Amino acid sequence: MKIKAIFSSRLSSEILSGNIQNMSLIRVLDYTVNEIPSKSEKFLIITKCEVVSPEHEEQIRDEVKQEDSEMGMLSKKPKLENEVNSENIKEAKGIFLKPKQEIVSKSAAQIIHEQHGNMAPSARMAMTRRVHPLVSLNPYQGNWTIKVRVTSKGNMRTYKNARGEGCVFNVELTDGDGTQIQATMFNEAAKKFYDRFELGKVYYISKGTLRVANKQFKTVQNDYEMTLNENSEVEEASDEAACIPETKFNFVPIDQLGPYVNSKDLVDVIGIVQSVSPTMSIRRKSNNETVPKRDIVVADETKKTVVVSLWNELATTVGQELQDIADKSPVVAIKSLKVGDFQGISLSTLGKSIVQVNPVISESKKLRNWYDSEGKETSMASVGSGLSPSTKSGGRSMYSDRVSLAHITSNPSLGEDKPAFFSIRAYISFIKPDQSMWYRACKTCNKKMTDALGGGYW
């Protein structure tokens, strides 16, 4: 059978170079089927393929003729290459075309069958499955399979609500085009897939569901988010790892961090490590838990420095590695950082943050060359030194000039799109008499204390 196909722009170099030409034999690895309703016609959009052989014109023509004329009947044996009449060999002025070497005539089906049989099982599976790009997915699709790399993996978290207790974790996935999506798993699915998903590995995923992403909590640039349940299928694609890009960074220069202060947007930063502090223990107010923390100071070509707080495992693993090589001023690239207002502007890692030391990327090489040539002798200044976030970003924040209550009441839409921060100086005009403004609390954990019978508290 025949079907029309379109090559994606990424394959244009293969066509211009002559690797793909008329009657070439190719193996299609990734594709999408599109249908034109008005013409009842389907065509392939080929996004990835490889050339099997460019010299099978006679054999393929013979096979197509066989399928178009009568299915199931034996086709005529195609001519051997050495039987081609010498009159077909043309001579141009100054150019002599040599006859083709003698080869054994094989049909396209025979070639595919032989090469298919020599493949590893995972490669044969990858060749036969249809992979959808992330950009083509929507909540109304039925069956789909994606091939993605895990570029971020969150920790297993527990929750408790009216329906009971449970656990949840999420991963960020990236496909061959660089498109990202967040996938979340709850309870049984979380327990099933937490150990299976490994950071940096490539997987085939199917039987998941999509829904519109909550803009308040989404962490990647995608209109949808994915949910995987215990019936979803996740299979490692070890032979296909080279097809998917590694961690993709969108670096923000240190001197341009101001607009991100106290916002929900996360940033990626790359810089030269200037100093590394020892690990310290911090007690959380929410659950009284003690967690490790380590601060590092990084600088970039803007001649600005910023403090980055590494939390939990990053403080004890990567943080220790940075401390051991701090005298060599390593380059560090960090993905998904929260921008806070401590010391004017500061950065903190999250559970999903990724830290790479001396990454092999162009930005790292450029930064290293700058630092070795002039940066180490340059005077650096803290990006938040003497500046409030509002001054740095040019916008209103909790450090802006005070506003009046009328400013709030006269702007009903204030805070609808995103939280609004401001300072107010006012007098207390009324205190509700039936409600206390404070309570007795434990000195160590700040939990409320209740009067006990016979005196004392508990």
Measured between alpha carbons, how far is 456 from 436 in angstroms, rounded to an integer?
A: 20
CATH superfamily of 134-243: Nucleic acid-binding proteins (2.40.50.140)
3-state secondary structure at position 404: coil
pLDDT in tens, the chain (458 residues): 778 888 877 777 777 777 888 878 888 887 777 766 556 677 778 888 888 876 655 555 555 555 555 545 444 444 444 444 444 444 444 444 444 444 455 554 455 455 545 554 444 444 456 788 898 888 888 789 999 999 888 889 999 888 889 999 999 999 888 888 999 999 999 999 999 999 889 999 999 999 998 877 777 888 899 999 999 999 998 766 666 767 778 899 999 998 888 888 889 999 999 999 999 998 877 777 889 999 999 999 999 999 999 999 999 999 999 999 999 999 999 999 999 988 889 999 988 888 999 998 999 999 999 999 999 999 999 998 755 444 444 444 444 456 778 877 777 777 777 677 777 778 888 888 887 777 788 877 778 888 776 666 66
What's the pLDDT score for residue 74?
46
Enter the tokens of residue 444: 């160590």
Q: Which fold has domain 4-71+105-118?
A: OB fold (Dihydrolipoamide Acetyltransferase, E2P) (2.40.50)
CATH topology identical between 4-71+105-118 and 134-243: yes
Query: Which residues, other chains included, contact 43 with Cβ-Cβ below 8 Å and sequence gap of 6+?
Result: 3, 4, 5, 6, 33, 34, 36
Q: What letter does residue 383 receive in the DSSP assignment?
A: T
* Domain boundaries defined on the chain: 4-71+105-118, 134-243, 254-389
Measured between alpha carbons, how far is 178 from 172 in angstroms, rounded to an integer?
A: 12
Which of 258, 346, 265, 261 lies closest to 298 in space, CA to CA?
Answer: 346
Give the DSSP letter string of 224-291: EEEEE-TT-EEEE-GGGGGGS--PPP-B--GGG-GGGTTSS--EEEEEEEEEEPPPEEEE-TTT--EE
Amino acid type, 49: C
Pick the CATH number of 254-389 from 3.30.10.20, 2.40.50.140, 2.60.40.1080, 1.20.140.10: 2.40.50.140
CB 298 within 8 A of CB 274: yes
Please state the pTM of the whole predicted model.
0.53
